[in-house]
Structure 1
Amino acid sequence: MAEFLLIHGSCHGAWCWRDVIPALEGLGHRVRAIDLPSHGRDKTPIADVTLDLYRDAILAAIEEPVILVGHSMAGFPIAAAAEASPQKISRLVYLCAYAPISGMSLVDMRKMQARQPLLDAIEMSADRLSWLPALSKARETFYHDCPDEAVAYANARITAQANLPQVTRLALGAAYESVAKSYIRCSEDRTIPPEFQSEMAARTAPLDSYDIATSHSPFFADAAGLAHLLDKIAAPS
């Protein structure tokens, strides 16, 4: 049995794990998910949101070592948490996530991609502090293989994503390197190109890289399959 803490990506909240939590619990694990600042039920103002605030919210939720799963942009705050308190994390799992390169921001890494499918699928706020998915393109970009009910559920709960955490460069060192890591590539992803995910996964040990044949939202497209994959990752070698 393992202890999992699940961290959502941009514009989402703990709600996106609704199907994965019971699936993992059914496999005998303890599982929690949190809302990062300004997401879900958290009411932190967008202007106050920083990468450090994300990191601190994650660390505050950990009482004993966890397998820390980060989806999409959450690759950065889970890495920041590992750098700050590696003893709290037994393993990092990047789920179609940005696995940071030290000294770079998430936006820096996105610009490394040969393809940029996200750019025409988002709408920037007038004050340039945040962005939202364009609902007309949400299904094709994030949820193309998800049930209609799940897409409607997500669209009703999406919140704005603060820009500052994503333009903040993250320095990583020996503490981060000391934590075990796995990468789950979503091979049908239309948000972060699968070929770029492969590049990021190549920085983990080969046996710690996995594929799941879903969109950018495996928690809706194949919650049971994702839970079984996480169960496999959690199993002692």
Structure 2
Amino acid sequence: MADIVLIHGAWAGSWVWDSLLDGLHSAGHKHHAVDLPGNGSDATPLAEVSLERYVEHVGALIETLDGPVHLVGHSGGGVTATALAERYAERIAGVAYVAGMMLPSGMRFAELCAELSRDFPEVSGIGPYLQPAVGGSRVPGDAACAVFFHDAPASAAVRAARRLTVQPDGGRDIAAHWTAGRFGRLPRLYLEAAQDRSVLPLVQQRMQQLVPGAERTVLDCGHAPQLAAPEALLAALLDFFAHHPNPVL
């Protein structure tokens, strides 16, 4: 049995993991889906949000847990997962990225997209649809349904789009710094979303090339497997947890 810490991506909240919680519990794991500062229902002022604030927030939870910890990061939550894995490497049994941002140390996702956009302008994903908001940005509902949730059941897509909130600027343009001796030694799983319109498959594949060593599972779905393919997502995660039950350091 492990403690599973579930980290959502930009504009989202802990609710994105709701479809997995019963399955994780039934498999004997303790699940901990968090709202990052300034996201979901967390009331942290947007101007105070940063990657360090994210790490401190989730780190405080990790410090209360007794067992081995698996980190699961969706989309932009992958950056936070990487930073946490570096800081708490002795406690971490594995890190799973769900169409997540698994990047070289010090690289921002925007840098990777800028590099790829010279040949693949479509990597901009949700970028062209974003609306400015005080302290951050907002995703219009129709764009969320078309880019994030296009293959989810229509009613679930609309509900999810309505739950998205302003993403703090300080929690989006971020980079994790890590070392080969800590994060670099941890087991990793990359869950590639083959129909993703936000973090395009070619971008996901490029991240796996830049940060090699992760196990790979391809899910035939869009950016939110939690809504579009929850059973396949759960099965892949449970298999990874079972094969990596304890920290390796």
Same-fold call, TM cutoff 0.5: yes
1:204 and 2:204 aligned: no
Deviations 1:67-100 (A, max 9, x none): 1000000111111111112112111111101102
TM-score w.r.t. the length of structure 2 is 0.88
Within a 5 Å distance, the mapping from 1:221-236 to structure 2 comes to 221-236=228-243
1:23: Cα distance to partner?
A: 2.1
Distance change >3 Å, CA 204–CA 29, structure 1 → 2? farther
Uncovered stretches (5+) of structure 1, i.e. residues with no partner: none
Q: How far apart in 2 are the matches of 1:93 and 1:137? A: 27
1:74 to 56, 67, 77: 77
Query: 1:105·1:166 contact (CA, 8 Å) conserved in 2?
Result: no
Distance 2:125 2:39 in 1: 23
More deviation, 106-115/150-159? 106-115
Q: Distance in 2 between matches of 1:2 and 1:84?
A: 19
Pairwise CA RMSD: 1.6
Question: Which AA in structure 2 matches 1:163?
Answer: D
Q: Which residue of 187, 209, 217 corresponds with 1:180?
A: 187
Letter in 2 for 1:7: I
CA distance in 1, matches of 2:239, 2:28: 12
- The whole-number CA distance in structure 2 between the counterparts of 1:12 and 1:170 is 20
Report how many aligned residue pairs link the two structures.
234
Pair 1:84 & 2:87 matched: yes
**Partner secondary structure for residue 97 of structure 1:** coil
Alpha-carbon deviations, 1:30-89, whole Å to 9, x = none?
222010001111100110000001111111111132110000001111111111121121
Counterpart CA distance in 1 for 2:171 and 2:13 is 16
Q: Is the 8 A contact 2:126 2:143 kept in 1?
A: no
The percentage of counterpart residues that share the same residue type is 27
Q: Is the 8 A contact 1:121 1:141 kept in 2?
A: no
Q: Give a deviation string over 1:84-141, Cα, whole Å, max 9, x none.
A: 121121111111011021122232233233321222221122x5x3111121211110
Mapped to 1, the partners of 2:7 and 2:243 lie a distance apart of 22
Match of 1:139 in 2: 145
What pairs up with 1:25-104 in 2 under 5 angstroms?
25-62=25-62, 63=65, 64-104=67-107
Matched, 1:154 2:160: yes
Give yes or no for contact 2:79–2:175 (8 Å, CA) kept in 1: no
2:114 equivalent among 104, 111, 114? 111
Amino acid across the alignment from 1:103 = G
The runs of at least 4 consecutive aligned structure 1 residues that moved more than 6 Å come to none
Contact 1:12–1:39 (8 Å) recurs in 2: yes
- 1:160 maps to a residue whose letter is V
Which residue does 1:168 correspond to in 2? 174
Deviation at 1:172, TM superposition (A): 1.5
Q: Is the 8 A contact 2:79 2:174 kept in 1?
A: no
Displacement of 1:170: 2.9
